[in-house]
Amino acid sequence: MITGRGVNNPATECAAGLRTRRAQGVPPAADTRGARRVRRPAAQWFPGFTLLELIVVLGLVGVLLGLAAPSLRGFFASRQTADAAAQMLALTQLAGTRAAAQGTVYRLNVDLQSNTYWLSMQQAGMFVDLNCEFGRRFQFPEGTTVHVQIPMVDSSASYIEFYPTGRTEEAMIELRGRQGEIYQLICESATEAFHVVSPTEAQRL
């Protein structure tokens, strides 16, 4: 006959093992059955543009550029005329300075046939081109109309002279651009330097 003492009881063995670990100072194993699982955050989704939306945006940009193109062309054409006037003003300043420093006569030449302008200086009784960057021929912008007016000289003259004494011929050079804008280089007296009158300044006068 088999009695209950000879049979291993799991509950009894577990309780005995727990008493033994407590007696030895070993903490019981943590019960993880009630632990909460940590969930990783799901990947965020950012909305983007669809192909149709991109096509619509590109179409709108093209329409706006097409509407602005004429005004942009006019703006750049006006800037070319203004740049030519500023460049001619710089040449008049250079001619006046060099004429006084070197004791010789300088000229600002304007060729209406080739639509060019350049500086020259007097040497041995004749005028020669400058041997430097400022001596090359500069081209007026395409479509620009040039008019040179020198009151004290023959109207057919196409140059303005700068003397070693610091005096300059009274003159007016008018540049009319393709958009109708007018820039004027004016020397009002022989003792004054040239200055540029822009279309905005001309309206104020």
- CATH number for the domain running over 71-204: 3.55.40.10
10 Å CB burial of residue 29 (0-12, 13-18, 19+) is exposed
Residue 90 confidence (pLDDT): 93
Show the low-confidence residues of the chain (pLDDT under 50): 1-7, 31, 35
- CA triplet 68, 69, 74: central angle to 5 degrees? 105
- CA triplet 62, 66, 71: central angle to 5 degrees? 140
CA torsion, ordered 117, 142, 198, 171, to nearest 10 deg: 30
Residue 1 confidence (pLDDT): 45
Neighbouring C-beta atoms of residue 4, cutoff 10 Å: 6
Residue 55 confidence (pLDDT): 80
- Please count the residues of the chain: 205
Residue 162 confidence (pLDDT): 95
Q: What is the pTM of this model?
A: 0.61
Residue 78 confidence (pLDDT): 65
Residue 9 confidence (pLDDT): 55
Neighbouring C-beta atoms of residue 51, cutoff 10 Å: 7
Residue 139 confidence (pLDDT): 92
Q: Dump pLDDT digits (tens) for 23-75.
A: 665 555 554 555 455 555 555 555 666 877 778 778 777 766 666 555 555 55
* 3-class state of residue 71 by DSSP: helix
Helix (H) or strand (E) holding 147: strand 145-149
Domain ranges of the chain: 71-204
* 3-class state of residue 171 by DSSP: strand
CA torsion, ordered 15, 21, 27, 29, to nearest 10 deg: -50
